[in-house]
Amino acid sequence: MEKFFGTSSSTQENGEHWLTVSDLMAGLMMVFLFIAIVFMMNTQKKNDKIKDVAVAYQQNQVAIYEALQTEFKNDLNKWGATIDKETLAFNFQSPDVLFANNETTLSYAYKNILNDFFPRYIDVLRPYRESLNEIRIEGHTSSAGLRGSSESQAYFYNMRLSQGRTRAVLEYAYGLMPDETIWIKKNIAAVGFSSSRLIMKDGVEDAAQSRRVSFRAITNADIQIKRILENN
């Protein structure tokens, strides 16, 4: 019967055909599984690197803050200064000591403070230079402008004022450390924020505290994370 109908040959051929397709599907599944495993391993490695950067960033933040506190703890009150633990901003918050009203020329008192502060500040940050993106001298004002000025006019007047003040601070500080001028030019910037970052107390602007100059150490954790993402 098998010879008459030819079923044995047909069945055998069909069986071999379906066996080949099954093997092919199994092989493809193994390939996809391997790709998925490799992808997950690479993703995990990337996540581990980012986590390491985040941990190092936090450790650097704490170390820099503690180093600044240790160095300047006896000077903060007499300078009218504070150190912000979250932003690493060293804030000079006695505006009458820093500049005359509506002026960009450093006061004699502020020059004396900078004579003492700036070289020590640079020395404190020296061990952390590899983890720093930049040091930013930030100028801030209250929202008040010249009498009769509009809100917009006051903002841009204060922008020029804050920028002029930070440039004056940077220029003076630059001359205090002639051996560090190359590093200072590459790593210290002067920025004026006008009244965009007011200090508020109970929902009301604190005009005196808003008028300040800050030296802010900015770490490069975000740059390191960007490089990890670009290289993987």
Tens place of pLDDT for every residue, the chain, 232 residues?
444 444 444 545 554 555 566 666 666 677 677 676 666 766 666 565 656 655 666 777 889 999 999 999 999 999 999 999 989 999 999 888 899 888 999 999 999 999 999 999 999 999 999 889 999 999 999 999 888 899 999 999 999 999 999 999 999 999 999 999 999 999 999 999 999 999 999 999 998 889 999 999 998 865 655 555 556 5
CB neighbours of residue 166 within 10 Å: 24
Q: Please indicate, yes or no, whether the overall pTM of this predicted structure exceeds 0.85.
A: no
In angstroms, the CA 110 to CA 41 distance is 55
What CA–CA distance (Å, rounded) separates 192 from 59? 29
Site of tokens 């804030």: 91
Query: Could you tell me the residue ranges of all domains in the chain?
Result: 2-49, 67-229
Cα distance between residue 58 and residue 84, in whole Å: 14
**3 state SS for 7-70:** HHHHHHHHHHHHHHHHHHHHHHHHHHHHHHHHHHHHHHHHHHHHHHHHHHHHHHHHHHHHHHHH
For 50-80, letters b (16+ CB in 10 Å) and e give beebeeebeebbeebbebbeeebeeeeeebb
Q: In this structure, which CATH number among 3.40.190.10, 3.40.1160.10, 3.30.1330.60, 2.60.40.10 belongs to the domain 67-229? A: 3.30.1330.60
Tokens, residue 142: 């209250």
